[in-house]
């Protein structure tokens, strides 16, 4: 039940991210200094911000950026993480030890710190955020895969398959993947949620992206001084952030 | 949950006890106490009236006595004598001697600050008098000595290596505790020989975010809050417990341009960038004060320097595009101007300590994009601008320039527009006419001649535009109605706490 | 004892890794910034006002900035290892001195947040776990899910608007009086509690369903005695182990919350330093935050070992 709700929420947000920038024709960066902080109107369905920019357009582009970047980061963390985890579990010995040490090195720093430092390298650009998030996240997939695969590879079923002559591809498809997929999916969903929040947090404290980029955290920090005159303006990005993260967490399941 | 409730209850219970003690005046400003050194963050201590300078200034910019009771100038204008105030003592009990003052002035001259721009030959300590000898006449010396970097601290304030270990000044308040970078607490100084101030204790909190300062004012948790963001200002004006004071002051929001950059070297390019700026829109929408749109560099409040007849800076995007086309720029497929294969991309540096600046930067970005100039905005620390000036990497800087750095604007002008430019002024630009005018202005006392020279300087700046004025500045203060006698110093030299009292 | 030593060795290794990672990233930061590297490094040692062309040249010669990058990096790490953290590019004060001042503020906030989160999180979670499926449990699930979806800065802003501005009950910023710590600590605590309450609930529900629990009840012990003697210690193990994970969100939360509430701690300093490209401060504050994280994890390790003697034997 909660899974379904999560799917609906996430689907709505994803739809907004994909179709929004196309359907909403307004330019998210176009300013109109004579029309600041207008409430929702036929011309601007969600109102305008403090520089007269259309909020609906900015939200749509911001959703695309935040969600897209988060998903991309998780993917670019998961793929190497899973592959390396499989490699570590399959090889054992020195390779396993080396990879585990690398994982420990990355895990030593809390994720946001790592992302902060990497983001400091090229402030305002998107790629350091992506790099920092991927670097912070890959370890989780590595550890999960390594632990699960190590146990599975030593199990009687896999041994039996091997004795029967089946190759690694079969073992991967038939034995490993079905057991890995569910926890990996849950991890990925949480990962995207965390990444979205981290991007917002960095935007809020002023290290993430810069004007005129539209991003939830950045929008919230820009609109905060105007919460009294235009509370809806601050509410939209907050609500979107909340719904996205909630949807992802519900989707991932009740289990922590 | 229970613990939270208990803490809340304890906090509320403690309030009556706090009121029964001497009430502390709580001041909030955006500027952190980055250091105890006078040349770095010395303004914190002069504004809280802990440390004094030789002179002060009135609202009109005329030098007034402070640590110096009076002063004389020799006929040739080269020897100034400042007589120290009788009975002035430092907070450690020792008397303020001419030697201590001379030591402070020497330190100020050696450190980055304004004294380096004054033609001082030597300092000398005579009994109860400080003598300053100049290399050439310099009318504004008294104004220069009001700058916070020239503050006088006791000899015991310095450690063995000559660094400040405690701020021991001579003002009506002394330091109780200082917790850099955020907090400062002061109390009435017993060594103050004048009438004791009505306010016995005061504290300063540095809060960088504009919304935080507004929240502190609104909730009554601070009594004096400076530098409010325009959005909060409207809301605070409607608050019955607060008096809002907004005064235009001799500060201008300007764009510092690197005139050595080949794209900006030609005055027409700079004029084009200036013409593309919608100053009215910015003043109305962002500053919420349409009359603040700059028509020239100096605001009308700087009556002597504001030239009424000067052709105002106008918003004319088509003219801007025409000028840039003259210089060989052509619009590329993405709408950005291209010349000899290079796109017209600039990076602007600004800082968030003044809440309007990042928003104005975003507005400029859009306005310049319309004429084909791509602007990237970098919001960082204020020191990135002087750093970029020194190593030549700065392209455009957005700041709010204080023209009464010393009460006489000539101080800022010398810092910003001398040959070689200044950290916050012109970069890669020099003008013989400007240099001559500034030199003449520093020396002459003839009123008519001074007016003519000021007009000449303003005209040069309006024509060549080494820096682009955007808007004039409003200094803002939200004061609790529980305070009486609150005034706002347009030169930002002092918070004037000693003149305030609690209204009962 | 061997288990303690093993845990200590592991965390010690992590501390070294933290230092190397932070040092490497700071080194990259210096070299990727525009402008003269030698000038920046010299300014990092002596301060911007005292630095001169001669000092920059001396640095250039000393570091041999035309030498291979690896050699320069080794030199950089060597300085870091000797804890020569340099001078802040913004204030000119020694980094070590600044951090010493800020450390107390951060630790106070962290402990206040942890302390506040325990009655809110695990305590409520245990109560929920005692009656799985009950009203408290369902309500708790809804609230916890909602709270987990709210980033700490949104929560902080909401609290400021609600409590500080509209009600005028607590200060929005500042440091020094008891009231000042309440809002930032509550913001952090709520975030922590949202997750730890669920963990506690799961752990308690499991314990409650376990045979030994029922047995203790049939033995004749009162519910409270059962809970206290058998339930809590067993439930505590996963909760305390989970504390290690919580520490991640605590350190991350500290950075954001300190910036929002202008709490003068290390997180606030780190953000300012990154914005200002004050590399010596970035390195120093990131290093300290990372080391605090490792230290707290080590403490959690020891606590787990103390609580569950079975854990070490593997």
Write out pLDDT tens, residues C2-40. Answer: 777 877 887 888 788 888 888 888 888 777 766 667 766
User: Chain C window 178-197: which residues touch A at a Cβ cutoff of 8 Å?
Assistant: 195
| Alpha-carbon separation of residue B349 from A67, B366, C28 (angstroms) | 29, 16, 22
The C-alpha atoms of residue C294 and residue C284 are separated, in whole angstroms, by 15
Contact assignment for C202 to A256 by CB distance below 8 Å: yes
Q: Which of A98-112, B457-471, C238-252 has the highest mean pLDDT?
A: B457-471
DSSP string, A39-70: PP-SSSTT-B-TTS-BHHHHHHHHHHHHHHHH
With respect to residue B45, please indicate whether it lies within any of the assigned structural domains. Answer: yes
The C-alpha atoms of residue B36 and residue B167 are separated, in whole angstroms, by 7
Query: Does pLDDT of A79 surpass 70?
Result: yes
| Best to test chain B binding among A32, A210, A214, A223 (most B CBs inside 10 Å) | A210
Query: Does pLDDT of B29 surpass 70?
Result: yes
ipTM of the complex, rounded to two decimals: 0.80
**Same domain assignment for residues B345 and B466:** yes
Which secondary-structure segment (H or E) carries B257? strand B242-257
Percent of chain B at pLDDT above 90?
Answer: 57
Query: Does pLDDT of B151 surpass 50?
Result: yes
C260 against B462, higher pLDDT: B462
Write out pLDDT tens, residues C196-251. Answer: 887 777 777 777 777 777 777 777 777 777 777 666 777 676 676 676 667 777 88
DSSP string, C235-290: HHHHHHHHHHHHHHHHHHHHHHHHHHHT--SHHHHHHHHHHHT-HHHHHHHHHHHH
| Best to test chain A binding among C125, C153, C258 (most A CBs inside 10 Å) | C153
Do B398 and C63 form a contact (C-beta atoms < 8 A)?
A: no
Query: Does pLDDT of A98 surpass 90?
Result: no
**Same domain assignment for residues B418 and B497:** no
- Give the SS3 label for residue B105: helix
Q: What pLDDT is attached to residue C312?
A: 46
Write out pLDDT tens, residues B80-106. Answer: 999 999 989 999 999 999 999 999 999
With respect to residue B166, please indicate whether it lies within any of the assigned structural domains. Answer: no
* Interstrand relation of B68-73 and B63-65 (parallel, antiparallel or unpaired): unpaired
**Same domain assignment for residues B317 and B416:** yes
User: Residue B12's pLDDT band (boundaries 50, 70, 90)?
Assistant: low
With respect to residue B233, please indicate whether it lies within any of the assigned structural domains. Answer: no
Could you list the beta-strand ranges (E) of chain C: none
Nearest to C173 among B112, B216, B387 (CB): B216
Q: A167: which residues sit within 8 A by CB, 6+ positions away? A: none
Percent of chain A at pLDDT above 70?
Answer: 98
With respect to residue B228, please indicate whether it lies within any of the assigned structural domains. Answer: no
User: Chain C window 295-314: which residues touch A at a Cβ cutoff of 8 Å?
Assistant: none
Q: C60: which residues sit within 8 A by CB, 6+ positions away? A: C38
The range of the structural domain enclosing residue B97 comes to 55-157
User: What angle is formed at CA C30 by the lines to CA C24 and CA C34, rounded to 5 degrees?
Assistant: 145
The CATH number linked to B206 is 3.40.190.10
| Neighboring chain C residues of B381 at a CB cutoff of 8 Å | 90, 272, 275-278
Q: What pLDDT is attached to residue B286?
A: 92
Q: Which of A97-111, B8-22, B398-412 has the highest mean pLDDT?
A: B398-412
Q: What pLDDT is attached to residue B4?
A: 67
With respect to residue B492, please indicate whether it lies within any of the assigned structural domains. Answer: yes
Q: B391: which residues sit within 8 A by CB, 6+ positions away? A: C35, C36, C39
Contact assignment for A52 to B285 by CB distance below 8 Å: yes
Q: What pLDDT is attached to residue B2?
A: 66
Of the candidates B359, C174, C181, C157, the residue with the CA atom closest to the CA atom of residue A200:
C157
Beta bridge partners of B257: B396
B501 against A165, higher pLDDT: B501
**Same domain assignment for residues B275 and B394:** yes
Q: B115 CA to chain C: closest CA distance, Å?
A: 15
User: Residue C310's pLDDT band (boundaries 50, 70, 90)?
Assistant: low
With respect to residue B242, please indicate whether it lies within any of the assigned structural domains. Answer: no
Phi-psi region of C57 (alpha: psi -120 to 50; beta: other; left: phi over 0): alpha
A67 φ/ψ angles, rounded to the nearest 5 degrees: -65, -45
**Same domain assignment for residues B32 and B85:** no
Joined together, the tokens standing for residue C175 give 């440091």
- Give the SS3 label for residue B261: coil
Of the candidates A55, A60, A64, the residue with the CA atom closest to the CA atom of residue A30:
A55
Query: Does pLDDT of B146 surpass 60?
Result: yes
Q: Is the pTM for the entire model greater than 0.90?
A: no
Q: What pLDDT is attached to residue A201?
A: 84
**Same domain assignment for residues B358 and B319:** yes
**Same domain assignment for residues B21 and B71:** no
Joined together, the tokens standing for residue C261 give 């509430």
With respect to residue B231, please indicate whether it lies within any of the assigned structural domains. Answer: no
Q: What pLDDT is attached to residue B129?
A: 93
**Same domain assignment for residues B349 and B455:** yes
User: Chain C window 206-265: which residues touch A at a Cβ cutoff of 8 Å?
Assistant: 247-248, 251-252, 255-256, 259-260
The C-alpha atoms of residue B210 and residue C114 are separated, in whole angstroms, by 29
**Same domain assignment for residues B255 and B327:** yes
Q: Give C67's Cβ-side CA count (13 Å radius).
A: 13
Query: Does pLDDT of B244 surpass 70?
Result: yes
Joined together, the tokens standing for residue B288 give 């919420």
Q: B141: which residues sit within 8 A by CB, 6+ positions away? A: B80, B118, B132, B134
Nearest to B7 among C168, C174, C182 (CB): C182
The C-alpha atoms of residue B301 and residue C269 are separated, in whole angstroms, by 38
C56 against B283, higher pLDDT: B283
Do C300 and C240 form a contact (C-beta atoms < 8 A)?
A: yes
Of B125, B157, B189, the position where a domain reaches its end is B157
User: Residue B20's pLDDT band (boundaries 50, 70, 90)?
Assistant: very low
| Alpha-carbon separation of residue B222 from B202, B217, C172, C173 (angstroms) | 11, 5, 10, 10
**Same domain assignment for residues B326 and B468:** yes
Contact assignment for B215 to C160 by CB distance below 8 Å: yes
| Alpha-carbon separation of residue B482 from B28, B181, B232, B338 (angstroms) | 16, 28, 20, 60
The C-alpha atoms of residue B493 and residue B42 are separated, in whole angstroms, by 11
**Same domain assignment for residues B283 and B337:** yes
The C-alpha atoms of residue B448 and residue B26 are separated, in whole angstroms, by 46
Write out pLDDT tens, residues C36-91. Answer: 677 666 666 655 555 566 667 777 777 666 677 777 778 778 888 787 787 777 66
* Interstrand relation of B242-257 and B330-331 (parallel, antiparallel or unpaired): unpaired
Matching residue, tokens 């999960």: A144
- Chain centroid to Cα C251, Å, comes to 2
Of the candidates C275, C274, C270, C301, the residue with the CA atom closest to the CA atom of residue C287:
C270
Q: What pLDDT is attached to residue A15?
A: 87
Write out pLDDT tens, residues B408-447. Answer: 888 888 888 988 888 889 999 989 999 999 989 888 888 8
The CATH number linked to B142 is 3.90.76.10
Average pLDDT, stretch A146-157? 82
The C-alpha atoms of residue C96 and residue C84 are separated, in whole angstroms, by 8
Q: C25 CA to chain A: closest CA distance, Å?
A: 7
Total domains in chain B come to 3
The C-alpha atoms of residue A31 and residue A39 are separated, in whole angstroms, by 16
Q: Give C215's Cβ-side CA count (13 Å radius).
A: 6
Question: Count of residues for chain C?
Answer: 314
User: Residue C314's pLDDT band (boundaries 50, 70, 90)?
Assistant: very low
Q: B165 CA to chain C: closest CA distance, Å?
A: 12
Q: Is C157 on the interface with A (CB under 8 A)?
A: yes
B255 φ/ψ angles, rounded to the nearest 5 degrees: -110, 120
| Best to test chain C binding among A114, A187, A201 (most C CBs inside 10 Å) | A201
The C-alpha atoms of residue A70 and residue A68 are separated, in whole angstroms, by 5
The CATH number linked to B427 is 3.10.105.10
Contact assignment for C182 to B4 by CB distance below 8 Å: yes
Q: What pLDDT is attached to residue C241?
A: 66
Q: A26 CA to chain B: closest CA distance, Å?
A: 14
With respect to residue B165, please indicate whether it lies within any of the assigned structural domains. Answer: no
Contact assignment for C152 to A113 by CB distance below 8 Å: no
Contact assignment for B281 to A33 by CB distance below 8 Å: yes
Average pLDDT, stretch A228-256? 80
Average pLDDT, stretch B281-298? 92
Q: Residue-wise over A159-198: b if at least 16 C-beta within 10 A, else e?
A: eebeeeeeeeeebeeebbeeebeebbebbbbbbbbbbbbb
Q: What pLDDT is attached to residue B462?
A: 93
Of B134, B157, B180, the position where a domain reaches its end is B157
Joined together, the tokens standing for residue B114 give 């304004």
**Same domain assignment for residues B35 and B102:** no
């Amino acid at each position: 039940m909660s899974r379904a709700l999560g799917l609906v929420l996430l689907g709505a947000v994803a739809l907004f991210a994909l179709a929004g920038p196309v359907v909403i024709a307004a330019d998210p960066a176009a300013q109109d200094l004579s029309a600041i902080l207008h409430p929702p109107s036929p011309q601007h369905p969600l109102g305008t911000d403090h520089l007269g920019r259309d909020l609906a357009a900015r939200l749509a582009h911001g959703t695309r950026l935040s969600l897209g970047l988060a998903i991309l980061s998780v993917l670019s963390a998961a793929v190497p993480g899973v592959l390396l985890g499989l490699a570590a579990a399959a090889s054992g010995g020195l390779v396993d030890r080396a990879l585990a040490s690398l994982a420990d090195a990355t895990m030593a720093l809390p994720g946001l710190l790592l992302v902060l430092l990497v983001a400091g390298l090229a402030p305002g650009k998107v790629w350091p955020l992506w790099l920092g998030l991927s670097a912070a996240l890959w370890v989780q997939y590595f550890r999960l895969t390594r632990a699960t695969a190590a146990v599975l590879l030593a199990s009687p079923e896999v041994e039996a398959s091997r004795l029967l002559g089946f190759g690694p591809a079969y073992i991967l498809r038939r034995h490993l993947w079905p057991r890995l997929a569910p926890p990996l999916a849950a991890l990925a969903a949480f990962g995207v949620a965390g990444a979205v929040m981290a991007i917002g947090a960095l935007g809020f404290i002023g290290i993430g992206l810069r004007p005129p980029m539209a991003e939830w955290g950045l929008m919230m920090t820009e609109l905060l001084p105007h919460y009294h005159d235009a509370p809806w303006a601050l509410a939209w990005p907050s609500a979107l952030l909340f719904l996205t993260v909630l949807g992802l967490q519900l989707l991932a399941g009740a289990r922590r | 949950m229970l613990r939270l409730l208990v803490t809340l209850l304890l906090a509320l219970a403690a309030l009556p006890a706090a009121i029964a003690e001497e009430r502390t005046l709580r001041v909030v400003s955006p500027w952190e106490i980055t250091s105890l050194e006078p040349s770095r963050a010395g303004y914190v201590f002069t504004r809280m009236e802990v440390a004094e300078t030789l002179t002060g200034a009135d609202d009109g910019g005329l030098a007034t006595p402070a640590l110096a009771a009076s002063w004389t100038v020799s006929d040739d204008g080269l020897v100034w004598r400042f007589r120290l105030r009788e009975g002035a003592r430092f907070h450690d009990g020792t008397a303020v001697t001419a030697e201590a003052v001379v030591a402070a002035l020497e330190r100020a001259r050696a450190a980055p600050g304004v004294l380096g721009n004054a033609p001082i030959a030597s300092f000398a300590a005579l009994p109860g008098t400080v003598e300053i000898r100049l290399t050439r006449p310099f009318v504004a010396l008294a104004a220069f000595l009001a700058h916070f970097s020239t503050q006088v601290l006791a000899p015991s304030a310095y450690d063995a290596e000559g660094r400040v270990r405690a701020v021991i000044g001579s003002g009506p308040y002394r330091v109780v505790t200082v917790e850099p970078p955020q907090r400062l607490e002061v109390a009435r100084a017993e060594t103050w020989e004048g009438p004791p101030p009505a306010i016995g204790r005061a504290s300063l909190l540095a809060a960088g975010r504009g919304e935080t300062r507004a929240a502190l004012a609104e909730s009554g948790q601070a009594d004096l809050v400076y530098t409010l963001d325009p959005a909060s200002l409207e809301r605070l004006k409607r608050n019955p417990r607060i008096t809002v004071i907004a005064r235009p002051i001799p500060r201008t929001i300007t764009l510092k341009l690197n005139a050595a950059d080949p794209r900006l070297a030609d005055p027409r390019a700079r004029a084009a960038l200036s013409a593309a700026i919608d100053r009215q829109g910015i003043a109305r929408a962002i500053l919420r004060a349409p009359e603040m749109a700059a028509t020239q560099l100096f605001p009308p409040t700087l009556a002597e320097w504001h030239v009424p007849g000067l052709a105002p800076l106008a918003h004319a995007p088509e003219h801007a595009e025409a000028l840039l086309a003259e210089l060989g720029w052509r619009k590329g497929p993405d709408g950005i101007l291209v010349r000899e294969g290079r796109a017209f991309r600039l990076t602007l540096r600004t800082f968030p300590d003044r809440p309007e600046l990042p928003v104005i930067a975003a507005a400029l970005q859009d306005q310049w994009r319309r004429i084909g100039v791509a602007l990237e905005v970098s919001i960082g620390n204020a020191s990135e601008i002087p750093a970029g000036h020194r190593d030549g990497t700065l392209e455009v800087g957005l700041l709010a320039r204080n023209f009464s750095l010393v009460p006489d604007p000539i101080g800022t002008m010398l810092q910003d527009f001398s040959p070689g430019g200044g950290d916050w002024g012109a970069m890669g630009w020099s003008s013989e006419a400007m240099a001559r005018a500034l030199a003449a202005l520093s020396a002459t006392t003839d009123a008519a001649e001074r007016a003519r020279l000021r007009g000449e300087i303003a005209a040069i700046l309006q024509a060549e535009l080494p820096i682009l004025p955007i808007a004039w500045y409003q200094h803002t203060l939200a004061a609790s109605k529980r305070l009486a006698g609150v005034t706002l110093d347009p030169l930002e030299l002092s918070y004037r706490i000693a003149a305030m009292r609690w209204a009962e | 004892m061997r288990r303690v030593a093993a845990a200590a060795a592991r965390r010690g290794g992590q501390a070294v890794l933290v230092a190397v990672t932070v040092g490497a990233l700071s080194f990259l930061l210096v070299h990727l910034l525009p402008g003269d590297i030698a000038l920046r490094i010299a300014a990092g040692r002596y301060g911007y006002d005292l630095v001169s062309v001669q000092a920059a040249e001396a640095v250039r010669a000393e570091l041999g900035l035309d030498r291979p990058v690896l050699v320069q990096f080794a030199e950089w790490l060597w300085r870091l290892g000797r804890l020569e953290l340099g001078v802040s590019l913004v204030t000119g004060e020694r980094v070590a001195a600044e951090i010493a001042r800020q450390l107390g503020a951060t630790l106070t906030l962290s402990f206040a947040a942890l302390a506040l989160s325990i009655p809110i999180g695990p305590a409520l979670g245990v109560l929920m776990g005692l009656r799985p499926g009950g009203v408290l449990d369902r309500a708790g699930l809804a609230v916890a899910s909602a709270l987990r979806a709210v980033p700490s800065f949104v929560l902080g802003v909401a609290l400021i608007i609600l409590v500080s501005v509209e009600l005028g009950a607590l200060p929005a910023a500042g440091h020094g009086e008891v009231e000042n710590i309440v809002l930032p600590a509550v913001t952090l605590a709520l975030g922590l509690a949202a997750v730890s309450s669920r963990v506690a609930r799961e752990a308690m529900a499991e314990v409650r369903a376990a045979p030994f629990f029922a047995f203790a009840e049939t033995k004749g012990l009162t519910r409270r005695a059962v809970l206290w003697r058998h339930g809590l210690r067993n439930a505590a193990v996963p909760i305390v182990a989970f504390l290690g994970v919580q520490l991640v969100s605590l350190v991350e939360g500290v950075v954001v919350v300190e910036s929002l509430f202008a709490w003068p701690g290390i997180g606030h300093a780190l953000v300012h330093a990154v914005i200002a490209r004050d590399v010596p401060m970035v390195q120093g504050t990131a290093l300290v935050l990372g080391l605090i994280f490792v230290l707290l994890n080590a403490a959690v390790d020891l606590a787990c070992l103390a609580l569950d003697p079975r854990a070490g034997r593997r």
